[in-house]
Structure 1
Amino acid sequence: MSSKNAPNHSSGELTPVKFSRLTRRGILLGFSVSQLVTLGVAVGALVWAFYAGGGILIAFTAPIWVSAAALTWIPIAGRALVEWIPVAFWWMWKSTGGQLLYRRRVVTPRPAGTLSLPGDMARLREYEDPVTGAGMVHDPAAGTLTAVLQVTHPAFVLLDPGEQERRVASWGRVLATVCRSGRISMLQILERTLPDTGTGLAEWWAAHGTQDDTWASTTYAELIDRAGPTGERHATTLSLSLDMRAASRQIRTAGGGVRGGAAVLRQEMSTLVAALRSADLAPSAWLNCGQIAVILRSAYDPAIAATLERHGELGQSLATAGPVAVNESWSGLRTDSAHHAVLWINEWPRSMVFPGFLAPVLLSSGIQRSFSLLCTPMRSDQAARDIRKKKTEYISDAHQRQRIGQIEDASQTAEFHDVLQQEADLTAGHGVLRYTGLISISASNTEELDASIAAIEQAAIQASCETRLLVGQQAQAFTAAALPLCRVI
C-alpha cells in the first residue's frame, strides 16, 4: 500500500496520521481478471445452453456454469476461490519437484563469492566495497545491489509529544530523500529481537556499580546474573537497494559492472547517512560481509545467536552463513534450530492514529520476532501517472455502476478519497512510497510458535492493524521478513 511522508509541524503537538487503504478494486465492477474469466465461462455456457436446446442443455451444462460461478463468488480467507488456484498449483509443483526441502551439500564446495542460501537466493553474490569496506549483496537476476546499515535510536515512546513530532517530520524528510533520486529500488527497515547475553549489563555494573558486601550490592549483582541470559535486546538495520537498471547510465560512467554499481550506491549511501544524522539517528558504519553473515546465520539458527555475539570471530563468512536444512510447510517453516511463521500486515490503521501506534507489536516481550517494513519509492512522474490512472478507473467504474443501478460502496468511496489525498500530497512535494509490513515469528517448538503467533496477532489488533498468516509461500516470505536483503514476495 502507499502512504505519504508526514508533514512538518512546529506546533509542538503530536499530529495523527492516516494510511491509505489496501485497494480491493478489480478490473471491472470489482472483479479481478481471473474472476472475469470464470464469470465469462459461466455466462457463455449458460447462454449457449439456453439458445441451443433450452432446459435439457441448461441442466446438462449445469456442472460447468455452477462451478465457474462458485469459483467467481465463493470467498476463502478473504479471496475468491479462483484466486487460490495459482497458489495451489504452485504449491503442488514445489511439492512434486522437491522444492520444499533444502539440505546443504557439505562436501561439494560452493563457487567463490556466492551465498550459501536456499531457493532463488542461491544466485546472490557478495561484493566488498574497497572504498568503504561495506559488504554488498548483488542480485544479477533482479539487477539490484544492496548495502546494510545498523541504526541506534532513543526510545520513541519515552519522548515528549513535541520531540516525537519533530522526529516524525525528520524521518519524513529521510523518506523523501530516498524518493528523489529515482535509483533506489527499495528501503528495508528491519527491527529484530535478539537474545541478550547480559554482557552489556554486566560491564555497566562492573564500571559504575558499588561492589561491596552490603545487602543491596549483593542482591543487585545476583539479579544481573539471573537476568542476563534471559534478557533480549532490539537491533535495527536499514537496507538500501540500488536499481542497477534505472542507474545504468551512471554505472557505465563509473566503470560499469558491479564495481560501477558500487560507486553509484556509495553516493546514495552518503546521502542516506547525512539524512539520518539530521533526523537525530545514530547510524553505524556500513556492515561488512562478516557482519551481514552473522545476521543471516542468526535468523536461520537463533540458538547460535548468543554464541556468535560473544565470539566476534565466529560466523564471519557469507559462504557458510546459510542454513544447513530447511523444511517448508503450507503455513510454516522449519530451519536449523527453530520453527518460523510469517504474518503479513494486510490492513494498516483505517482511522487516524498517532506515530508510535506499532508499540504493542515492537515492544512485545518474550517473543523472538523480526518486523520488516519494505518501502518501495516511486518517482514523482511515475506516481503522478499511477494516480491519474487510478482516478480514471474509479470514475469510469462509478459511471458503470450507476448505469446498471449498482449501489456505491463506502469502501470504494474511501479508496477514491485516498487517491485524491495522495495526489494532493504529491503536489505539495511529499514522496510516495508503497509499504509492505511483514512479521517473522520464531520459536523452538510448534506449541511455543502457536502461542507467539496468537500474542502477536493480539498485539496487532491493539495497534489497529490486521494480520494474515501467509500460506503456501512461507520460505519466500521468511527471506523478506527476517533477512536484511531487500527481498520481495
Structure 2
Amino acid sequence: MSTQQNTSSAGFGLRAVQFSRLTRRGILLGLSLPQLIVLATGVLSIVGALYAGGGILLAWTAPIWLLSAALAWTPVGGRKLIEWVPVTFRWVARTQARQTVFRRRVVKPRPAGTLALPGDAASLREWEDSETGAAMIHDPHAQTLTAIVGVSHPAFVLLDPGEQERRVATWGRVLATTCRSGRIARLQVCERTLPDGGSGLVEWWQRHGTDDGSWTSTVYRELIDRAGPAGERHATTISLALDLKAAARQVRTNGGGIKGAAAVLRQEMTTLVTALRAAELTITGWLTPAQVAVVLRSAYDPATAAILERNTDIGRTLATAGPVAVTESWDRLRSDSAHHAVLWVSEWPRSQVYPGFLAPVLLSSGIQRSFSLVCTPIRSDQAARDIRKKKTELISDAAQRQKMGQIEDASQTAEYGDVLQQEADLTAGHGVLRYSGLISVSAPSPEELDTAVAAIEQAAIQASCETRRLVGQQAQAFTVAALPLCRTV
C-alpha cells in the first residue's frame, strides 16, 4: 500500500517530507539541569541522613527527598513540575509588579518614533527609509532592524502536484538565501485572516457598475454595502530582521547608526525580493509606516479592521496604532475589542507528509487567527558544530545506557537518524534553519474564544501537528504570533 502511494506520488512529481523531532535530550541520561539539581538535593539529604542518624533522620528528611523526586519526575501539562517553577515565579513577579495590565496614558504623549506597544515591545523604534519608503522597526535590546513585505500567491492546494513540488523547491531556495547571508537574524512568515471590509467590491462597482438610479443598481449597491464587510480575506507578509551585531562592519562602512543599518538592510531586501520573484510570489510592496500602523491596530482591535480598510484616512499613524488597554491572564489576553489566546506548535508531523499539510489550519473559516512561522537561519560552520555536538552527546548517552543495562528505545534511535539526515543535508549544500510556529486566535468573547481554540486544535490534529496553549507569557507570545515584527518568545 505504501509502495503504491509513493510510486503514484513520484509519478506526479510530488514528494513527501518529514520533520526532525523536537530534541528533548538532557545533560545526563535525558535529565535536564533543573532535574539534576533537585535530584542531587534529594540524594544528598538521604545520604546525609543515613550517615548522621540512620532511619530516624531519614524519616525526618523524607519531605525533602520526596518533594525532590516529585519535582523531577511528575509531569504536568507536558512538562515536569520543576520546569513550571521559573514560569510560575516570573508570572507571580509580573503580577505583583502590575506588568500584566497596560493602560494607555492619553494625556501624556509617547516619545517620538515609538510604536506605542505594551510590554517589552514598548522599546521598539520606527525608522522610515527615504529610498524605499518602507517602515523599518528597530529593536534596541535584540539589536535587530526589521522590514516587512507583503506578498500574494495563488491557492497552493489548487495547484497540480508537479507545480506544488516546483514551488516548494523554489521556496527552499529562498530560505537557503537567508542562510548564506550570515547577517539575517530571523525570517517570519505571517499569514492572518482579516474581516473583509468590502473595499474590493466597492472598487469594482465604481469601475464597472452603472449607478443610474434604477431599482437594480440601487439593490446591487445596497447589497455591496451590507454584505461586503461580512466576508473574510487572507493576508500574508514576510518579515526580514537584520542582525546588527553580525553586520556591524557593513553598518560602519555605510555610515554607522540606523542610517547605515538601513543601507545594509536594503541590500538584504533586494536579495529577498529577487528570490521571492524567482519563486513566483507576487510582491505587493514593502509596508510603509501607515500600513504597519493598520496591521498593529487590527491585531489589537479587530473590530476596527474593516473600518480602517474602507477609510484610508484614519488609523495610519504609528504613534496611535497601539492598544488602549491590555489585560493579560494566565492563559489568555484581553485587548481593546477582542480576547486572544496563543498556541505553540510543539510538534511538527513525525511521519511523512506532503507540502500542503497545514491546509486544515490555514483554511479554517469563520475563525480570526494569525499563523506565524519564525525561521532562524544557522550559519554553516555553527550548524556543523551543533550537529557534531549532538552526535557526540547521543553516542555518549547510548554508551552510558548500555553500561547501566537500559534498553535503547525507538525515539532515541529516530533522533540519532534525524541528526545524521541533517548532517547529510548540510554536506549537500542545504541551509539549516530552526522553526517555531505560533497561532494566535481572537474572538469577541471568552466563550467564542474557547470554541475557536478548540476548532484550531482539532485542525492541527488533522494536520498531524501537536499544539499547546502557552501560559504565563501570553502578552509576549501575542506580539510574536499576531504582529509581523520578527520577534521571539
Displacement after TM superposition at 1:238 (Å): 0.4
Distance 2:320 2:395 in 1: 54
Deviations 1:284-342 (A, max 9, x none): 22111111111001100001111111111211111111101000000000000000000
Report the alpha carbon displacement of residue 229 of structure 1 after superposing the two structures with TM: 2.1
SS at 1:82 equivalent: helix
Conserved? CA contact 2:199–2:309, under 8 Å: no
Runs of 5+ unmatched residues, structure 1: 1-8
SS of the residue corresponding to residue 178 of structure 2 reads helix
Paired position in structure 2 for 1:169: 169
Give CA deviations for 1:442-483 in whole Å, capped at 9, x if unaligned: 000001000000000000000000000000000000000000
Which amino acid in 2 is paired with 1:403?
K
What is the SS of the residue equivalent to 2:487? coil
On the 8 A contact 2:198/2:310 being kept in 1, the answer is: no
Q: Distance in 2 between matches of 1:105 and 1:214?
A: 51
**Mapping for residues 304-315 of structure 1, pairs under 5 Å:** 304-315=304-315
Question: What does 1:227-376 correspond to in 2, within 5 Å?
Answer: 227-376=227-376
Distance 1:307 1:50 in 2: 73
User: Counterpart of 1:243 in structure 2: which amino acid?
Assistant: D
Distance 1:85 1:49, change over 3 A: same
CA distance in 2 between counterparts of 1:172 and 1:278 reads 11
Matched residue, 1:408:
408
The one-character-per-residue Cα deviations of 1:369-398 (angstroms, maximum 9, x if unpaired) are 000000000000010000000000000000
Amino acid in the other structure paired with 2:418? D
- Counterpart residue number, 2:386: 386
Per-residue CA shift, 1:251-276, capped at 9, x if unaligned?
A: 01011111110000000000000000
Give the AA of the match of 2:46.
L
Match of 1:6 in 2: none
Q: Which amino acid aligns with 1:311?
A: N
**Deviation digits for residues 98-143 of structure 1 (CA, Å, limit 9, x no counterpart):** 1110001111111111120111111111001111111100011111
Distance (Å, rounded) in 2 between the aligned partners of 1:248 and 1:312: 39
Q: Structure 2: how far apart are the matches of 1:155 and 1:222?
A: 30
- Tell me which residue corresponds to 1:458: 458
Question: How far apart in 2 are the matches of 1:192 and 1:379?
Answer: 30
Bigger CA drift: 410-419 or 246-255?
410-419
Equivalent residue for 1:84?
84
CA contact (8 A) 2:374 2:435 kept: yes
The reply on whether 1:37 has 2:54 as its aligned counterpart is no
Matches of 1:215 and 1:319, distance apart in 2:
45
- Size of the alignment, in residue pairs? 481
Residue identity matched to 2:404? I
Shift in Å at residue 14 of structure 1? 0.7
The Cα of 1:228 is off from its aligned counterpart by 1.8
Range 353-362 or range 105-114, more displaced: 105-114
* Alignment match, 1:5: none
CA distance in 2, matches of 1:280, 1:253: 34
Query: What's the CA shift for 1:179?
Result: 0.6
Contact persistence 1:183–1:246 (CA under 8 A): yes
Other-structure match for 2:102: 102
Q: d(CA) in 2 for partners of 1:10 and 1:201? A: 42
Q: Give the letter for the 2:55 counterpart.
A: G
Alpha carbons of 1:217 and 1:353: their partners in 2 closer, same or farther (altered >3 Å)?
A: farther
Q: 1:214 to 1:416 in 2, by over 3 A?
A: farther
Matched to 2:165, the amino acid is E
SS at match of 1:307: helix
3-state secondary structure, aligned to 1:376 = strand
What residue number does 2:4 align with? none
Deviates more, 1:222-231 or 1:205-214: 205-214
TM-score normalised according to structure 2 size: 0.95
Q: How does 1:129-140 map to 2 (within 5 A)?
A: 129-140=129-140
User: 1:197 is matched with which residue?
Assistant: 197
Query: Which consecutive aligned stretches of 4+ in structure 1 deviate over 4 angstroms post-superposition?
Result: 9-12, 205-226
Deviation at 1:210, TM superposition (A): 9.4
**Partner Cα distance (1:206, 1:257) in 2:** 47
Distance in 2 separating the partners of 1:347 and 1:227 = 39
The Cα of 1:192 is off from its aligned counterpart by: 0.7
Equivalence for 1:4: none
Contact (CA 8 Å) 2:197, 2:305: kept in 1 or not? no
Query: Quick check: 1:10–1:166 contact (8 Å CA) kept in 2?
Result: no
Q: Which runs of 5+ in 2 are unaligned?
A: 1-8
SS of 2:314 mapped into structure 1:
coil
Once the two structures are TM-superposed, the CA of residue 208 in structure 1 deviates from its matched residue by 5.6
Q: Which residue of 1 aligns with 2:485?
A: 485
Label 1:128 to 1:68 Cα distance change in 2 as closer, same or farther (>3 A). same
